[in-house]
Amino acid sequence: MPTRNKIYFASDFHLGAVSYQSSREREARIVRWLDLVGDDAAEIYLVGDIFDFWFEYSTVVPKGYIRFLGKLAQLADAGVKLYLFKGNHDMWMFDYFEKELNATIVANELTFERNGKKFYLHHGDGLGPGDVKYKFLKKFFRSSFCQWLFARLHPSLGVGIANRWSRHSRIEGGRTEHLRTHEQEWLVTHSEEVLKTNHYDYLIYGHRHLPLDITLSTGSRYINLGEWVYYKTYAVFDGEHLELKYFEKVEETVKSL
Ligand SMILES: [Mn+2]
């Protein structure tokens, strides 16, 4: 029996984008990563945008991703606890993965303590100042009315529309995101705001598509998990330390301020 004493975090796999072929290659890489971490993982947090698009009808789920989902099922059956966050691309995850994988679906933020360290997790969309238009859209897309309406469309039509929509904000091979100043990094702003009322050691997000490890004013760390089209980054907590790492890529170090 392996010792399961580590916690792993990753986000923004965007499975389904950009092409079928690139998604399959990425899926294979993710499965290799899950094989690696599956040996000592107690918990795995997938912090949103796992799929470039996801919708669950009452009897139908999107095609594809069977190796990835099979691997998650294998890990879940081996006793690894899975947490799947809703991102802005896959906010329509309902109870399918709860049923099939015994996973916990997280809609917004999740906070917990492990070994005396406090964690704050969120996909990262709709936080911080500005972006009023997106915040409004998020409220609409997450409403039960919108979900009811979408479920009435035939999947060929609904998923077709969704894929076209998804292309607008699609991740295009990474490396397009650059570090901004602290004032412009809205998740830094949001984290500092959160830290005014509660202490956390680690504030972990996705969404930004840029791996970041930034020490905040209180000594807490803002970790951005990056994405898996270009960077292939993840974080691991071994009970004492949290580290942001590259998977199958060693020549670059993670950016920090
Ligand atoms: Mn994303």
Domains in the chain, ordered, with CATH? 6-246 (3.60.21.10)
- Return the SS3 of 106: strand
Calculate how far, in angstroms, residue 163's C-alpha sits from the geometric centre of ligand 1: 14
Q: What's the CA-to-centroid distance between 124 and ligand 1, angstroms?
A: 9
Q: Convert the pLDDT of each residue in 40-66 to its tens digit.
A: 999 999 999 999 999 999 899 999 999
| Residue 192 CA to ligand 1 centre (angstroms) | 22
Distance 190 CA to ligand 1 centre (A): 18
DSSP letter assigned to residue 241: -
Kindly report, residue by residue over 121-159, the tens digit of the pLDDT: 999 999 988 778 888 888 888 898 888 888 888 888 888
Whole-number Å distance, alpha carbon 209 to ligand 1 midpoint, is 6
pLDDT of residue 166: 75
CB 101 within 8 Å of CB 63: no
Q: How remote is the CA of residue 164 from the centroid of ligand 1, in Å?
A: 16
The three-point CA angle 135-156-15 to 5° equals: 60
Torsion 109-114-118-123 (CA) sign: negative
116 CA to middle of ligand 1, Å?
30
Residue 127 C-alpha to ligand 1 middle, in angstroms? 14
Alpha carbon of 208 to ligand 1 centroid (Å) = 7
Q: What is the pLDDT of residue 87?
A: 94
User: What is the per-residue pLDDT across 219-229, written as a single tens digit (0 to 9) for each?
Assistant: 999 999 999 99
pLDDT on residue 160: 83
Kindly report the pTM of this predicted structure: 0.92
Q: What's the pLDDT at 158?
A: 86
CA 13 / ligand 1 centre spacing (Å): 8
- Closest among 113, 115, 114, 95 to 105, alpha carbons compared: 95
> Are β-strands 221-225 and 202-205 bridged in parallel, bridged antiparallel, or unpaired?
parallel
CA of 46 to the centre of ligand 1 (A): 12
Give the SS3 label for residue 239.
Answer: coil
- Centre of ligand 1 to C-alpha 205, Å, is 11
What pLDDT is attached to residue 146?
A: 87
Query: Which ranges of the chain have pLDDT less than 70?
Result: 1-2, 168-176, 250-257
Q: How far is the CA of 50 from the centre of ligand 1 (A)?
A: 8
How many angstroms does the Cα of residue 150 sit away from the middle of ligand 1?
A: 22
